[in-house]
Amino acid sequence: MIILDEQPFRMVEYEGFRRLCQTSCPQLQLPSRKTIRTDCVKLFLERKQGLAKYFKKEGMGRVSITSDCWMRVNNSNFICVSAHFIDKEGRLHKRIISFSLIESHKAADIGESIITTPKDWGLTSLFCCTMDNAYANDGAIGDVKSYLNKFNSNVLDGKYFHMRCVGHILNLIVQYGLEEIGTSVRRVREAVKWLTSSPQRILQWAKVVNILADRIDCKKALCLDVPTLWNSTYLMLQSAIPYEEAFQLYSQMYPSYKKDLSQKKHNDDFIGFLEGQDWIIVKKMIEYLQKFYELTVLMSGTKYPTSHIFFTEMCYIFDLISELEVSDDHEISSMAMKMRVKIGKYWAEDMELNPRMNRVLYIVVVLDSRQKMNHVETCFKSIYGDARGEILVRDVTYALNELFDYYVAHKEARNPAQHRKDAANENMRRQGRSDRRGSLSLVGLRGNRQANNNANELDVYLTENNHIEDKEDVDHFDILKWWSENPRYPILSWNLGKI
């Protein structure tokens, strides 16, 4: 219970808790906080040892890690490292394998901390490391790759090791665009901060909302954002918009509200009081911010694979920005142009190959049996035109073959005997399975090319028809399950299928 509810060890010494236990179970002898601490540490070490043994199992496959750094208000620096891996049954797992203090957010300190983690766990077979797009992280990644090179365990010398966090890049893109409407956002922020800064003002606000109860169809409370996290800014704006009339009535009933806010400054400039035009701007923006918010939530999931859905969502973002750029509304078009500049820095490849864009994010789309290369090609040509699209398709094809050849050369495939057994079971299942057809919202073109007799496993996969889902099953497609149930591709399913 202490671990599950994140309670302090001294909870067992709380008078109320001891009375509860004495009343409900008089025979129970409560341990001391020192005993509780000892037991929790023992349990932690047992679980850690069990996970370390699991990592060392034969045929475990590669593990990917994510790392995040932050600073507390007391200037303490922390780093968290999580391991992401797929078991033999095709289930995705996430485990926090390190949580520690670091000296600073400099490359050397971050790199040393990340290197220490796989050392402690005996992890040498890593596939990629996902980090925020900070300059220091580039240097840290270089240190980690150098460490892994000692074991000759880097895939293609770490060519695809550094994965830049999609959520962080989305945050930068939207923050950059929000600068265009920064004044209106700051006015909402200061108003919410003022209203929620004291019990008296909260009661006054509740009184005003109660007066307008028949005209306000909202039960959400106002929430203040974290200025550096745009998704919290979106939630703040979303919570404030239904109370537009309440803000206006409050300013009439309590003059100190308007007076205080009129004197607020940002970079030596007066922010000003929240006015009608600000609400118009915010309402227009919230519709588009919602799309980015939904994408951020989708890509932040840890209980399901996200890499294979990123490319389609990225293309949607490109289309959305293009739509906003030609808007008749100046604020919207200006915001979109700013976003175009920032998204181009990380993802666009209209002029040349973008070194910040990890090819694995394209490869995983090809490994989605509903999409394959057809979908990648269609999206590239839609965004960049036919000529540029062809160049990018060739680049992705080269990267995919390069990765496949690496695994073939290093024989990183499942046990052959197990493969034959699984293949036999799969053939039996196929004989009894009815042929299903449905429509796919993705670009689910069905391939009709035939693999030649000398085709390798990858060629066979690419030339076979795309997997077609029933319409009601499209949103519930389990890509990991699909690969685990298709042992006809031992190298793909055991390696590339787990990317």
Residue 420's H or E segment, with its range, is helix 416-431
Cβ neighbours, 10 Å, residue 273: 18
For residue 425, pLDDT over 90 is answered with no
Predicted pLDDT of residue 342: 86
Per-residue DSSP letter, 10? G
Average pLDDT in the 69-97 region?
Answer: 87
Confidence of residue 303 (pLDDT cuts 50, 70, 90): confident
The token duo for 326 is: 């030609």
Give the separation between CA 279 and CA 272, rounded to whole angstroms: 14
DSSP string for residues in 320-334: HHHHHHT-SSHHHHH
The per-residue pLDDT for range 468-486, each reduced to its tens digit, is: 766 555 567 888 888 888 7
Give the separation between CA 119 and CA 113, rounded to whole angstroms: 10
Q: Are 84 and 93 in contact (CB under 8 A)?
A: yes
Q: Where are the domains of the chain?
A: 9-53, 59-164, 175-297, 349-434+441-498
Range name among 291-300, 416-425, 464-473 with the lowest pLDDT average: 416-425
For residue 451, pLDDT over 50 is answered with no
Q: Are 140 and 107 in contact (CB under 8 A)?
A: yes
Predicted pLDDT of residue 66: 93
- CATH number assigned to the domain with residue range 59-164, chosen from the 4 options 3.30.70, 1.10.10, 3.40.50, 3.30.420: 3.30.420
Q: Which amino acid is at 386?
A: D
The per-residue pLDDT for range 305-324, each reduced to its tens digit, is: 888 888 888 888 898 889 88
The model carries a pTM of 0.78
DSSP 3-state of 238: helix
For residue 415, pLDDT over 60 is answered with no
Confidence of residue 450 (pLDDT cuts 50, 70, 90): very low
The per-residue pLDDT for range 22-57, each reduced to its tens digit, is: 899 888 888 898 999 999 999 999 999 999 888 888
φ, ψ at 435 (rounded to 5°): -80, 110
The per-residue pLDDT for range 162-200, each reduced to its tens digit, is: 998 888 888 888 888 888 788 889 999 999 999 999 999
Cβ neighbours, 10 Å, residue 252: 10
For residue 222, pLDDT over 80 is answered with yes
For residue 343, pLDDT over 70 is answered with yes
